[in-house]
Structure 1
């Protein structure tokens, strides 16, 4: 059963919740813009405080929509954890969300031993590129992406069962789930089995290195 953590108004500065011992969270958007030009976006993640700047773990994209969204954040070092939110645009639109949580184990008959599988490097330009394919057998535990270029690259998850080459499936600098700046890495620990598409912020090709960690 879902338990309510609270209702929050997303701001342009970081907002943190009380400490919570949970791994699965559900977000209900209580105020959803009805106009296409009122596109708003935010980031959600876990926060581990050391008294200085926030330590943000596994940040993910949050977009206002009619559907509820479920986020899974794996346990990290058994540290006290809080959810953290921040608006990523400056529109004067009130954005309220309800946060619920559930303590649950995600069952799997797969062994926890994994093997690193480097994939062929992928050159990403201003044309959509497929970075990862869907894992319908649930064999992927996580993956590491490295941006070896000089431009930011924007990524978007592909819905399960969807062809990533479909022309209606788009990714852009205004329509993405996460991004990697030049010379940085992204380590996905959400056990995502989705495919992944990407596009570069400029015309110059950017090389993306991908390593999947798959169950043996």
Structure 2
């Protein structure tokens, strides 16, 4: 498929699996879906490489095991959609509402989320080399074992998220929240946490921040758990 091949556009329709399969069979090239309603559609295991999804409704849509390499998703609403075991290499999501979505066992190499809502999303057991988040809500999300090492984390809300065994070595937090997150087993060596909200952590959690940089105000907050104050 040529790099500059034009997309065939489908706009303002409601489509199910048979409709999408027929479009894929009829057009030898990527598709561009604009304002399409895929609510409850089962698109599992379809070959959708390089397709574009603009302002689409993906409520409870199923993409289980689908090939989605090079796809672009802009302004979509897809609460409770299933992306488990998908191939999403070099895909991008911009300004999408993807609350409570499921991504377990997905291949997410070089995938970017920008300005998205991923509250409650489950990223357990993903392959995530080069995965990036920017200005994104990940509160109450499941991100165990995820690597953010050497990344600049900009305006990310990890409050109440499961970050167990996550790797934050040498990461820089800018306007982020880790409030009440679960961080057992996480590593922060060399991380700059001065731009992170550490609300809800107690002094006995401080050992998990060994080797990280925190501010005087953050240190004071942790010490206040012991009834101490920093002069």
Instruction: Classify the TM-score, shorter chain.
Output: under 0.3
Structure whose alpha-carbon radius of gyration is higher: 2
More strand by share: 1
User: RCO (CA 8 Å, sep 6+): is it higher in 1 or 2?
Assistant: 1
TM, length-normalised to structure 1:
0.26
